[in-house]
């Protein structure tokens, strides 16, 4: 086996939540290009069907499963559909996240409903996803769980508090799951992106496409630009592959040096 062979994930079956657009779509397509069959999950059926078609065009199998990750029964069903529909489950990527109303508020102004929504979507759903995936993986001899976090978890995040708090919890959850699941040969790691022009990012900061070329300078990013969804997918492929076989409980930050 060569060093490049260790980065291949041929024959794996991966689930990507929030896989219909942005970072999730890039991750799903990246995993397929590296050799995995992919279950693409999100709430918007038309978007995940489109991503699944792109995966099939790359010669890999794909399922599109409409799923609300805040519904634990739907999450458990998603894991079962991967196992039954594609014959296994070796990689689970918890990417779904964000906010529902995209309004900047201080913590003092935050309604309980919005706090609860963000905790459920950005933290609880990562736990229920890991629980559903691990229950199958431990019977299959192991696997990898990859949680998409955010650099917001690592510092004060005014006007975006619940999201940052939830993502900080994701980092700790990643560490704890890694220790608890190691005996089942299940590795748990995370990826923490910096600014990426996702739908939520654009709406939250009230940005337009023409604003993006200047954002790297405005945000003082040393490499001079904000990220692309495709900047994140290679790290996920690495964490899903044998190249990272002695790595667990870690979160990789990809943010242009900011």
Q: Is residue 257 part of a domain?
A: no
Based on the residue annotation, tell me whether 184 is a catalytic residue of this protein. Answer: no
Q: Is residue 256 part of a domain?
A: no
Helix, strand, or coil here: 257?
Answer: coil
Q: Is residue 258 part of a domain?
A: no
Catalytic residue among 65, 94, 126, 163: 163
Number of independent structural domains in the chain: 1
CATH number of residue 61's parent domain: 3.40.50.720
Q: Is residue 167 part of a domain?
A: yes
Q: What are the beta bridge partners of residue 14?
A: 38, 91
Q: Is residue 81 part of a domain?
A: yes
- Residue of 129, 124, 117 whose CA lies nearest to 170: 124
- Over the stretch 192-242, which tens digit does the pLDDT of each residue have? 999 988 777 777 667 788 878 888 898 899 999 999 999 999 999 999 999
User: What is the model's pTM?
Assistant: 0.96
Q: How far apart are CA 59 and CA 57, in angstroms?
A: 5
- Over the stretch 81-120, which tens digit does the pLDDT of each residue have? 999 999 999 999 999 998 877 788 999 999 999 999 999 9
Locate all alpha helices (DSSP H) within 120-198, ordered by sequence: 125-140, 161-181
What range does the domain containing 23 cover? 9-250
Whether residue 151 is predicted with pLDDT greater than 80 in this model: the reply is yes
Tell me the backbone φ, ψ of residue 203, rounded to 5 degrees.
Answer: -70, -40
Q: How far apart are CA 151 and CA 235, in angstroms?
A: 15
């Amino acid at each position: 086996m060569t060093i490049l062979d260790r980065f291949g994930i041929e024959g794996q079956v991966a689930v990507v939540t929030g896989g219909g657009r942005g970072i999730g779509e890039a991750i799903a397509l990246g995993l397929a290009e590296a050799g995995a069959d992919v279950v693409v999950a999100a709430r918007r059926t038309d978007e995940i069907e489109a991503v699944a078609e792109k995966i099939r065009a790359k010669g890999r199998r794909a399922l599109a499963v409409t799923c609300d990750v805040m519904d634990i029964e739907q999450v458990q069903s998603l894991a079962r559909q991967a196992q039954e529909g594609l014959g296994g489950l070796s990689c689970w990527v918890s990417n779904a996240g964000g906010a529902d109303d995209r309004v900047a508020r201080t913590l003092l102004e935050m309604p309980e409903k919005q706090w609860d929504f963000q905790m459920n979507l950005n933290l609880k759903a990562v736990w229920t996803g890991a629980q559903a995936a691990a229950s199958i993986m431990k019977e299959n001899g192991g696997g990898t769980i990859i949680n998409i976090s955010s650099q917001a978890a690592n510092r004060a995040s005014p006007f975006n508090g619940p999201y940052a708090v939830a993502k900080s919890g994701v980092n700790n959850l990643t560490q704890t799951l890694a220790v608890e699941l190691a005996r089942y040969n299940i590795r748990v790691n995370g990826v923490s992106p910096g600014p990426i022009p996702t739908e939520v990012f654009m709406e939250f900061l009230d940005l337009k496409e023409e604003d993006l070329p200047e954002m790297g300078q405005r945000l003082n990013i040393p490499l001079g630009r904000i990220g692309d969804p495709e900047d994140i997918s290679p790290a996920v492929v690495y964490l899903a592959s044998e190249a990272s076989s002695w790595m667990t409980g870690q979160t990789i930050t990809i943010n242009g040096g900011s």
